[in-house]
Chains A and B, each alone.
Chain A
Amino acid sequence: MTNARTTRERAAAMRQQEQAKAKRRQKLVVAGVIGGIALVVVAIVLIVIFAGGSSKKTGPIALPAGVSGNSGPIVVGTGPAKLDVYEDFQCPSCGAFHKASGPTIAELQSSGKVTTNYHLVSFLGPESVRAANAAGCAQDQGKFMPFSNYLYDHQPAEHTGGYTSDDLIRSGEAVGITNPAFNQCVTSMKYQDWVTNVNSAAFDNGTITGTPTVFVNGKKIDNLTSENIKQAVNSAG
């Protein structure tokens, strides 16, 4: 009788031990899985931070002709009023804006009323970056304005991989750029760092949240029409 009981007790104890062991093993596995997931996520974040994430390039970088500062705009014209234009070559409403207000701005420039700072932001994919880089190259050839106008007049649809190097070189030819240095500049993405800097400078401290955005002497034009720009420039001039 006592024997039977001890056997039963021993069996129960063994079962308990086994259960405890299984529990411990389970806890280990759960901890391992959660730890593994945490590790994977942290690794991904670190890779992003250290590999591609740093957006601001410091130190000497290649800058297009006449640009001052690592995130400086392309400056067109000389005049007392200061016009800051933020646009992206790939943004359709920048194209519309160019069509509607381009002539007015050109007129203000040629009559010596305004200095225009073109901030070429590039937040609509690699095509934006390629186009902005090429515009920097065109600036070196003294053809920034015609090149920029040509691009907006022949703007590809968004997110369709437009503005290939070949397209951009052809656009250069179309506005009379013949120097092979331009082609080299476009294909090698000579001003990529500058383009990246211009973009982060515009967005990082919240100067703009979208394009096109225009400031006249630091004051944002809310309703972007050529009439409003002209008025602001004239009253600021």
Chain B
Amino acid sequence: MGVTLTADGQAGTPPTAPSRWPQIVRGLLTFVRVALGGVWIYAGMVKITDINQTTITIRAFEIVPHSLVKPMSYGLPAAEIALGLMLVVGLAVRWMAAVSAVFLLLYIGAIASASARGLRIDCGCFSQGGQLDASTSTRYTLDILRDSGLLLLSALLIWRPRTYWSLDGWLRMPSADADDDLDAEDADADEDGPGNT
């Protein structure tokens, strides 16, 4: 019964029937938020600390025009780190989760297109990327699966951006002693909006 409560956030049940589920879900989502942020920071740091390799990787995908490869090899990891930090501090969580999802969709698309064009590269998402030689398997399926998992986590945060220990939560505090877990989700959307700008 508690499960159905969280599933559709607008159950009009009065707080007289308290359920632990919302708190548990919120706790898990807190973990998801921080973990996803950490993953982005890590991915960005790996790329930026080996900038030459990142350049080679981006070039190996043969998607970005030559003149944009260099700027992108700095810009992409920088954006990833910023996104990760925003998620960790919990600012504009729903927006950041959406950005995260868009990034992941682009990455999945890039990997899929590389695969479809028969390019043989290491996606370089977390490791040294670049061109692979014929004898090494490409791991495209694995890479796409991993990115899809992260995409799912991002989707969860878009669905429920409210988590513990977030700056968003702190911003909501004074006006809302209604820091109530049973709030309709629409309210979240309204409140998270301004945080983005």
User: A41-B78, A45-B48 in contact; A210/B59 too (CB < 8 A)?
Assistant: no
Choice from A29, A48, A93, A158 contacting B48 with Cβ under 8 Å? A48
Given contacts A38-B82, A41-B82, A48-B51, contact A30 B131 (CB under 8 A): no
Residue on B nearest A200 in the bound complex, by CB = B52
Contacts of A200 in B (CB 8 A): 52
Q: How far is the CB of B134 from chain A (nearest CB, A)?
A: 5
Q: How far is the CB of A173 from chain B (nearest CB, A)?
A: 29
For residue B168, which residue of chain A has the nearest CB? Answer: A30
Q: Does B36 contact A (CB under 8 A)?
A: no
B74–A48 CB distance below 8 A: yes
Interface of B, helix, strand, loop or mixed by DSSP: helix
Q: How many A-B residue pairs lie within 8 Å, measured between CB atoms?
A: 81
Enumerate B62-105 residues with CB–CB distance to A below 8 Å.
Answer: 62, 66, 74, 78, 81-82, 85-86, 89, 91
Q: Is the CB of B167 within 8 A of A33?
A: yes
Residues of A in contact with B, size category: 35 or more
Q: Assuming the A-B contacts A48-B49, A92-B136, are A123 and B82 also in contact, with contact meaning beta carbons closer than 8 angstroms in the complex? A: no
The smallest C-beta distance from B175 to any residue of chain A, in angstroms, reads 8
**A 76-110 contacts with B by CB, 8 A:** 91-94, 96
B28 to chain A, nearest CB (A): 24
What's the minimum C-beta distance from B94 to chain A, rounded to whole angstroms? 15
Decide if A93 touches B85 in the complex (CB within 8 Å): no
Q: Is B174 engaged at the interface, CB distance under 8 Å to the other chain?
A: yes
Q: Hey, what's the 0/1 contact readout for A206-237 against B, CB within 8 Å counting as 1?
A: 10011110000000000000000000000000
- Point out the residues of chain B lying under 8 angstroms from A123, CB to CB: 52-53, 56, 130
**Cα(A159)–Cα(B120), bound, Å:** 18
Q: Inside 8 A of A40's CB, which chain B residues have their CB? A: 81, 85
Extra contacts besides A91-B133, A209-B131, A210-B60 (14): CB < 8 Å: A30-B91, A33-B89, A37-B86, A38-B82, A41-B82, A44-B78, A48-B48, A92-B135, A123-B53, A123-B130, A124-B128, A200-B52, A210-B120, A212-B133
What residues make up the interface of B, taking CB atoms closer than 8 Å to A?
Answer: 48-49, 51-53, 55-56, 59-60, 62, 66, 74, 78, 81-82, 85-86, 89, 91, 120, 128, 130-136, 167, 171, 174-175, 195
12 pairs of residues in contact across A and B, judged by CB atoms under 8 Å: A30-B91, A30-B171, A30-B195, A34-B91, A41-B78, A41-B82, A93-B135, A94-B133, A96-B135, A206-B59, A206-B66, A209-B131
